[in-house]
Structure 1
C-alpha cells in the first residue's frame, strides 16, 4: 500500500514537471519528455539494479554455509546442525532460514523436502548448490560434508567478491552518466534563461521533432545503462516446482550450453564426484 502511494506521488510529480516545462517554454514536446525524465531518470541514475542486494544475499548464504560447517562436529546430527546455524542466519536470508529451522524442529516434513522448499524461497543459484549438498547428506548419510560445505562457502565468497568488482566498475559508469546528464540539463537551462534566441530553433515544428529525437537517444542510452546495471542471473539447479514428483534436482551442468562461473563450476564438479548426480 505504501509503495503504491509512493508510485502515485511520483507519477503526479512527474506529470506536474512535464506540464510546467511545456507551459514555461511553450514547447509541447517537453510535456512527455519532462514526464518520462522526472519519472524514470532519478531511479536509473541512483539505482544499482539490485546488485548490492544480490551481493548481500550471496554473502549471507556463504556465512550460513560456514556456520553449518562449523556446527556439524558439535551437533548431534545434520538436522540439529542446520537448525542451530539457521537460527543465527544473516539478515538478508534470516526469515527463510528461521522458517527452515522451525520446519525441521517440527519434524513433520523430511529434512530434504524442507531444504528444497528453503532453496526455492531463496531463489538463488548459489543457495541451490548448498541445498543439493545438504539434501543428499540427509538422504544418503554422505561423508565429508564439512569439506564440501567449506568449498561451497569459498565459491560463494568468490562470487560475491567478483560481483563487488563488477559493481565498482559500473558505479564509475553511472557517475560519468550523472555528470554528463547534469551538464546537458544545466547548459540547456542556462542557455534558455540567458540567451533564449540560441534555442529558438527548437520552438519550430522541425525543432520539436529534433528535440524529440535527441531525447529518444538519451532514453535508449539510459535503458542500456539500466540493463547493464542489473546483475546477471546464473541458471538455477532446482526445478521450479518444489512439490514435483520427479527427482527434485537437476543434473549438474550435463549440457555444455549451461554455464556456471568458475568457483561454482568447480564446486559442482566436486559435488558430482562425491555423490554423483542424484
Structure 2
C-alpha cells in the first residue's frame, strides 16, 4: 500500500510540471490571439465586426501526448509499484502506448465520421434551400442554424467572413486547411468554383452529398466486415493467457523457474509485446484508405 502511494506521488510530481507548462502555453497563445485582435483596425461605422479566429474551437483535435503520458505512468507503476524488473516495465509501457494510441485513433475516427455525417446533412439542407430559391449565403446561414457542433461553428465563421467582405475563395481555402478531409475539400471546391464562374450549384452539391454518404456507407461496411477478424484476434490472445494460467496451475514451480531466468523473461516479454503489435497492425489494416 505504501509503495503504491509513493508511486502515485512520484507520478503526480512528474506530470504536474508538464501540465503546468502546457496550461501556460495555452494561456499565452490565447493572449497573443486577443492582442492581435485588439491591434486590428476598428471597422467603420455601419460595418459588422470581423469574426475572431480565436472563437473557433478546433474541429478535429488530436491527443497524441495522452498515450505517452499513460505509458510513462504504467512504466513507473510497474517498476516502483509492483516491483517488476526493467524489461517487463518497458514491455508493459510499450503495450500501454500501442493500445492507447489505437483508442485515441478510434476516438478521432468517430469524430471524423460524426463531422462527415453533419456535412452530408448540411449539404442536403443547402440543396433544398437553393431549390427553394434562396441565395448561397442565406442557404449557408440556414445550414449553420440547423447543424450541430462542430460543423455549426465552421459554417457560422464562413458566412460571417463572407458577410464582412472577405474573398469567398480564400474563406473556403481556409476551411479546407482547418478541416483536412476529402469530403470537405469537395464541398469547398464546389462552392469556390461556383463563386468564381457561377452556374447551377444545386445539382453539383446533390452529387457531392451522395458521394459523402456513399463514402460513409463504405467505411461502415468495411468496419463490419473486419469485426470478425478483430474478435478472432482478441479471442486467440485471451486463449493464450488462459493456457498460460493452466500451465502455472499445473506446475507452478517450473513456471516460476522459467520466468526467473533471463531467457524466459525475454521470451515472455517478447511474446506479450508482439501480441500488442499484432493488435495494432490488424487495426491499421482494417482502416479504409481512399
TM-score (norm 1): 0.68
- Which residue pairs with 2:168 in the alignment? 111
Q: Deviations over 1:125-171 (max 9, x none)?
A: 1111111111111111212x211111110111000000011122333
Q: Does 1:70 align with 2:128?
A: yes
1:11 pairs, out of 64, 72, 75, with 72
Report the CA distance shift for 1:6/1:125 in structure 2 as closer, same or farther (over 3 A): closer
Q: Deviations over 1:156-213 (max 9, x none)?
A: 1000000011122333333333333333334434544663224232322222232233
- Which residue pairs with 2:210 in the alignment? 154
- Which residue pairs with 1:35 in the alignment? 93
SS at match of 2:106: coil
For the 8 Å contact 2:126–2:143, the answer to whether it is kept is yes
For the 8 Å contact 2:259–2:265, the answer to whether it is kept is yes
- Which residue pairs with 2:241 in the alignment? 185
Q: How many Å apart are 1:93 and its aligned residue? A: 2.0
- Which residue pairs with 1:141 in the alignment? 198
- Which residue pairs with 1:90 in the alignment? 148
Q: Which structure's relative contact order is higher, taking Cα pairs within 8 Å and 6+ residues apart?
A: 1
Q: Deviations over 1:27-83 (max 9, x none)?
A: 653222233234443664796374333322222221111111111133542222222
Q: Which moved more, 1:81-90 or 1:56-65?
A: 81-90
For the 8 Å contact 1:97–1:118, the answer to whether it is kept is no
- Which residue pairs with 1:255 in the alignment? none
Gaps of at least 5 residues in structure 1 are 235-278
Q: Does 1:228 align with 2:285?
A: yes
- Which residue pairs with 1:100 in the alignment? 158
Report the CA distance shift for 1:194/1:14 in structure 2 as closer, same or farther (over 3 A): farther
Gaps of at least 5 residues in structure 2 are 1-18, 24-62
2:179 pairs, out of 113, 116, 122, with 122
- Which residue pairs with 2:227 in the alignment? 171
For the 8 Å contact 2:75–2:89, the answer to whether it is kept is no
Kindly report the root-mean-square deviation, in angstroms, between the aligned alpha carbons of the 2 structures: 3.1
For the 8 Å contact 2:124–2:209, the answer to whether it is kept is yes
Q: Deviations over 1:67-124 (max 9, x none)?
A: 1111113354222222222332233422212211222232x20223222222222211
Q: Which moved more, 1:121-130 or 1:46-55?
A: 46-55
Q: How many Å apart are 1:19 and its aligned residue? A: 4.8
Report the CA distance shift for 1:18/1:186 in structure 2 as closer, same or farther (over 3 A): farther
Higher helix share: 2
TM-score (norm 2): 0.66
Aligned residues: 228
2:259 pairs, out of 167, 178, 202, with 202
